[in-house]
Amino acid sequence: MEKEQERKNIIESLEKELKVIKTKNDLANLKALYLGKNGIVTNLSLKMKDIPNEEKREYGKFLNEIKDEVSLKLETLLKEIERKELEEKLASEKIDITLPSKKIKKGSLHPMTRIQNEFEDIFVSMGYTVYDGPEIESDKNCFQKLNIPKGHPARDAQDTFYLKDEYENFLIRSQTSTAQVRAMEENKEKGPIRIVCPGKVYRRDEDATHSHQFMQIEGLVIDENVSMADLKGTLELFCKKILGEKTNVRFRPSYFPFTEPSVEVDVTCFKCGGKGCSLCKQTGWIEVLGAGMVHPNVLEMSGYDSKKYQGFAFGTGMDRFAMFKYGIPDIRTIYGNDIRFLNQFDRKDGE
Ligand code: DAH
C-alpha cells in the first residue's frame, strides 16, 4: 500500500508538471528530474537495500513499472510537442497559390534594335541579304572608291574621325556606303548583288537631330538591266511598309558623287499627314533617303564592267526613322543609356 501511494504521488506530480511543459527542452529537463542520475524515480532504487530479501523481487518489479509509466508519459508528451511543431511549421510555410505573382522584370529591345529589325525584315522579304561591314574603314573604301577623291568637297561633311600615325589612312566610317565597295569587291561579277548594310557611322555632329554616332542603312542592287524604275518601285514599297500605306513618296533630283543620276526621297510628313506643320517646315514633306543609280566609275573601280552591269544604291539614317516612328524628340537620348528613356519602350508593339 505504501508503494502504491508512492507511485500515485510520483505520477500525480509528474502529470501536474507535464501540463505546463511546452517545449522539447523543458521536457528534457523534466525527464532528467525523474529518470536522470539523481532523478526521483532513479533514487527509489536506493531504498532497495532496506527492503527485506523476500520483498526485493516485488520491489524491483514495482520500480520497473513506475519507470515504464513515467517514460511512457514523457514519450507521449514528446510526440505531442513534435506534432504541434510540425503543424506550426507547415502552417507558416503554407503557400497561398491565389496570391498574384510578383511581376517578372523583362528587358526590352532598344529602339534602334527595333527599328533595325523592321528595316531588315522588309528588305529580307524583298530578297535582300543583310551584309555586315567593319566600323574602322580605309579612306579608299569610305571615299576614294565611292568617287570621292582626296580634296573633293563632298568630304567636308564627313572628314572626321581618322586614326593616328601609321593608320592615318583609316577612319571610323562616316557612311555605310563603304559596304558598296566591299560587297562588289568580294563578289567580283559573280552574279547579282542585293544587300542592305545596317550599322553605326560617325561624324563630327552634335545637336538635337545630329549625334556624333548614329546608325545608317545602305542598300545596293547590282545586276544586268537594272533601271531607275526598279529603284523607285523598291523605295516606294519600302517607305509604305515602314511608315504606313498612306505614305506618299516623291523623288527629287540631287547629287551624290557615287550615283548618277542621284535623287533624294521625301515622304509625307508623319506628323501632319502632309498638311504642313513645324516638323516639315510647312512643306508637307520630309526628306528620308538619298539614292541613285550607281556611278559607272564606282562600278569600274570595284571591278565591274559598267557596260554590262548597272545598279542602284540608297542610304538613310535609321535614327531619324526611329525618332519619327516612336516620337523621340532628341537623338542624343537614343545613345544616352538612361534607363528612364529605355523603359518607355518596354513591351511595345505587343512583344
Ligand atoms: N552615304 C550617304 C550619306 O551618308 C547616303 C546615300 C546617298 C547613300 C545616296 C547612297 C546613295 O547609297 O545612293 O549621306
Q: DSSP labels for 76-145?
A: HHHHHHHHHHHHHHHHHT---TTSPPPPP------HHHHHHHHHHHHHHHTT-EE----SEEEHHHHTGG
Nearest CA to ligand 1 atom 6: 315
Q: Measure Cα distances from 129 to 107, 142, 146, 194 in Å.
A: 28, 21, 21, 6
Centroid of ligand 1 to alpha carbon of 265 (angstroms)? 11
Radius of gyration of the chain (CA): 44
User: Does an H or E element contain 161, and which?
Assistant: none
Q: Measured in Å, how far apart are the chain's first and last C-alpha atoms?
A: 89
Question: Rounded to whole angstroms, how far apart are CA atoms 156 and 164?
Answer: 19
Centroid of ligand 1 to alpha carbon of 92 (angstroms)? 68
pLDDT > 70: percent of the chain = 98
Question: Rounded to whole angstroms, how far apart are CA atoms 11 and 315?
Answer: 99
User: Does an H or E element contain 214, and which?
Assistant: strand 213-223
Written out in words, the top-level CATH class of the domain with range 111-350 is alpha beta
Question: Rounded to whole angstroms, how far apart are CA atoms 137 and 150?
Answer: 15
Question: Rounded to whole angstroms, how far apart are CA atoms 160 and 172?
Answer: 8
218 within ligand 1 shell (Cβ under 6 A): yes
Question: Rounded to whole angstroms, how far apart are CA atoms 130 and 62?
Answer: 97
Nearest CA to ligand 1 atom 13: 291
- Cell representation of residue 100: 498574384
The number of the ligand 1 atom at minimal distance from the alpha carbon of 294 is 13
The number of the ligand 1 atom at minimal distance from the alpha carbon of 218 is 12
146 within ligand 1 shell (Cβ under 6 A): no
Other CB atoms closer than 10 Å to residue 255's CB: what's the count? Answer: 13
Specify the 3-state DSSP secondary structure of 271: coil
In the chain, DSSP finds a helix count (H) and a strand count (E) of 12, 9
User: At a CB cut-off of 8 Å and minimum separation 6, what does 140 contact?
Assistant: 169, 181
128 within ligand 1 shell (Cβ under 6 A): no
**Boundaries of every domain in the chain:** 2-92, 111-350
Specify the 3-state DSSP secondary structure of 350: helix
**Structural contact between residues 115 and 320, judged by C-beta atoms closer than 8 angstroms:** no
Q: Measure Cα distances from 299 to 25, 151, 221, 295, 331 in Å.
A: 93, 21, 12, 7, 34
**Structural contact between residues 35 and 67, judged by C-beta atoms closer than 8 angstroms:** yes
Query: Which ranges in 21-110 belong to alpha helices (H)?
Result: 24-35, 40-44, 53-92
314 within ligand 1 shell (Cβ under 6 A): yes
Q: Looking up cell 529602339, which residue turns up?
A: 111
User: At a CB cut-off of 8 Å and minimum separation 6, what does 210 contact?
Assistant: 203, 331
158 within ligand 1 shell (Cβ under 6 A): no
Nearest CA to ligand 1 atom 3: 175
Mutate to test the pocket of ligand 1, among 123, 196, 314 (most ligand atoms within 8 A of CB): 314
261 upstream amide cis, omega within 30 of 0 = yes
Nearest CA to ligand 1 atom 8: 315
202 within ligand 1 shell (Cβ under 6 A): no
Sheet holding 285-294, edge to edge: 129-130, 193-202, 213-223, 310-317, 285-294, 259-268, 249-256
pLDDT in tens, 57-113: 999 999 999 999 999 999 999 999 999 999 999 989 888 888 888 888 778 889 999
Question: Rounded to whole angstroms, how far apart are CA atoms 232 and 230?
Answer: 5
pLDDT in tens, 337-350: 898 898 888 755 54
177 within ligand 1 shell (Cβ under 6 A): yes
Centroid of ligand 1 to alpha carbon of 242 (angstroms)? 19
Centroid of ligand 1 to alpha carbon of 129 (angstroms)? 19
315 within ligand 1 shell (Cβ under 6 A): yes
Q: Which amino acid is at 16?
A: K
Centroid of ligand 1 to alpha carbon of 217 (angstroms)? 9
Specify the 3-state DSSP secondary structure of 294: strand
The number of the ligand 1 atom at minimal distance from the alpha carbon of 158 is 4
Specify the 3-state DSSP secondary structure of 94: coil
**Structural contact between residues 239 and 248, judged by C-beta atoms closer than 8 angstroms:** no
The number of the ligand 1 atom at minimal distance from the alpha carbon of 177 is 1
One pLDDT digit (tens) per residue for the chain, 351 residues: 478 888 899 999 999 999 999 999 999 999 999 999 999 999 988 888 888 899 899 999 999 999 999 999 999 999 999 999 999 999 898 888 888 888 887 788 899 999 999 999 999 999 999 999 999 999 999 999 999 999 999 999 898 899 999 999 999 999 999 999 999 999 988 889 999 999 999 999 888 878 899 999 999 999 999 999 999 999 999 999 999 999 999 999 999 999 999 999 999 998 888 999 988 899 999 999 999 999 999 999 999 999 999 999 999 999 999 998 888 988 889 999 898 898 888 755 544
pTM over 0.75: no
